Structure formats: C-alpha cells, structure tokens
Amino acid sequence: MAFLYEINILNQPSEWRRILDIPLPSRLSDLDFKRIYFIGIGSSFWAAKIAEFLWREYVQMDAIAIQSYDFVNSRYFVSPNDIVVVFSHRGTNTFSVRALEMAKRRYNAYAVLITGLQSPISINTDFRIETCPQENCGAFTISLTSAIVRVLQWVDLFSNGLIDRFRIWLESVRLPFIIQKLPKFHNKLIIVGDLIREAVAHEVALKISETSYLPVRSYGIEQILHGPKVTLDNESSIIAFTSLSQDRQDSLRKYANAVGAEFIEINDAQKQLFPSSSEEFNWLAQLVWGQQLALELAKKLGTNPDTVRKDQSVYAYANKDIYL
C-alpha cells in the first residue's frame, strides 16, 4: 500500500492545474506598495525564500523573506505602504498567526494569508489566498508547491506570460521521477543548491529529516565552499541541485572528488529527468525530485514518512508540551 506522503507527491501536478484555473483576488492587482515581506516557518519559510527570489527576478522589486518567529520578536521597518505575506497551510501556527496580527496592528500594512482550504479565518487578513486541501500527513509536500504556484500567479500580474510558460512546462512533467541512485552515506548526507535551488536544498533536507529521521545538513553552494567543505571525507555524500547557467558547482565537485566524497548532481538541464524544452521552472522539478528522494530513503530505512515519528511513544511524549 502506498504511503500518504507518496500519493501527495504524485497528486501535485493535477492540483497545480486545478489551482491555475482559480483566479487570485482581483483587488491584488490594484495594490500600490513599496516592498513585500514573505513570512513563514518550516516548509513555509522555504516557500517564502522561493517567493522572495521569484519576486526579485520577475517583478524586480524589493522582497524580504523572514522567519515567523523573527518577524514577531524583532523589529522590522515595515510601512503602511508595504505588503506582509504569511504562508501558513494550517493557519494555526502560533507565530504565523501573530505575524498577521502584527502586520495589521503594529505596522498597519496590507496583510495577505496564503493558506490551505478549510483553515481558520483570520480577522487580521486583507487578502486570503487558498491553495490545496489540508495535508493528511506530517511531512508537507503538496501544500508547499501549491503555495508556490499561487505566488507564480501573483508574479504573472507583473510579468505577463509567466503562467502561460508555466502551463507549457507543466505538460512535460511526468511523475514519479526516477531516482537512479541513492546516496551511499546517508548518515553523513549534505544537500546543497545555488540561487533559488538553495531554498530547494534546505526544503529537501527538511523532508529527509521528517521522513527518514536522518541528521542531514544543507547549504548554499557558495556557503559550503567557505568553510563547511572541510567536514567532507570519503564517507560523505553530497547531493547538489545545480543549474546549467551557473558554474560554482564545478569547484565543489572538484573538492569532493579530491577528498573522496560522493557527489550526486541533479542539474536542471538533465533531459532524462526533466524533459522540458525550457529550464525556467526546473527548480520546481528538482524540488519534487527531492521529495521523492526522501520517500525512497524512508523506504530503504524502514521508516514511515507519514507520521513524523508521532507513532513512536517516546517522541509522542516528547512533543506533548511543545506548541507550534
């Protein structure tokens, strides 16, 4: 029997198509604003980092991604002419809910909530953008990517043709992707990426942690070159999400080879994995590939990717006094 986590991965393209047929709130296009903040925690923070990159790349406007906890407990110079976007699939995360409240009450900014269907209604929201039904397992996949698709729709208001190109790209996506090789040294596993793929690397590391319970590390490619590379040895495995448009992975590959570390590269131009004629959205395909990698590692190690260890009494007990 398939895991819920696995089914959710496979259902993503059809859910993206459904979402693309649902327009955003019409008043979004009328907003006059100077800056946009993207707020989240966990997978939602990596959605925020991806949104930040997309906004700067396509809208060419100042965008800042911030952890929910930091936004609530530190001071940011948000003006009434700014937008604060909070990603929260459940709509119940303590600090994400408080971030919405602060956006309105402290800063008097526009507050936007990107959330799942059937999540609670917030009185501190000017715009509510819904994504997919509530996830049925602890390791989020489809809710994250559905939120990203909503961001692409929003960006398209400023960059005509983006969604048309995304629809064409989507027709080339065939799941499941083939995981040709699992890392040899999963107990010393490092995930890296460049630019938007750095957020992909962090999210994939989170998925592996949640599903296989491995102590995986993640870095930007430039970041690992400036210090953490010295932790690599002949019992390390690196998975690198890279792009044909960049070349810093070459330096990391040479270093890894020199110290005997395993180097697995998932490049956005690998046609056997990503057959689209355009690499514009292949960072999203790399993210889904990473979700599947987490699944295959869980199967190999015999862990349940649906439960985030809540089925184990010691972890269920440890969680009882933690609020999120």
Cβ neighbours of residue 284 closer than 8 Å, sequence gap 6 or more: 145, 148
- Return the structure tokens found at 185: 């040294």
pLDDT in tens, 33-83: 999 999 999 999 999 999 999 999 999 999 999 999 999 999 999 999 999
The neighbouring-strand residues paired with 319 are none
CA-based nearest residue to 286, from 221, 239, 223, 222: 239
Cβ atoms of 278 and 165 within 8 Å: the answer is yes
Please name each of the domains of the chain with its CATH number. Answer: 4-170 (3.40.50.10490), 186-301 (3.40.50.10490)
pLDDT in tens, 142-162: 999 999 999 999 999 998 899
Cα 261 to Cα 2: distance, rounded to the nearest angstrom: 33
Cβ atoms of 185 and 56 within 8 Å: the answer is no
Res 1: pLDDT: 65
CA-based nearest residue to 65, from 93, 85, 92: 85
Longest C-alpha distance within the chain, in Å?
A: 57
Cβ atoms of 33 and 83 within 8 Å: the answer is yes
pLDDT in tens, 73-118: 999 999 999 999 999 999 988 999 999 999 999 999 999 999 999 9
Tell me which amino acid residue 241 is: F
What's the residue count for the chain?
A: 324
The neighbouring-strand residues paired with 65 are 38
Find the helix or strand (DSSP H, E) in which 155 lies.
Answer: helix 142-156
Question: Range with the lowest mean pLDDT among 92-106, 187-201, 228-242?
Answer: 92-106
The neighbouring-strand residues paired with 87 are 114
CA-based nearest residue to 272, from 165, 179, 182, 171: 179
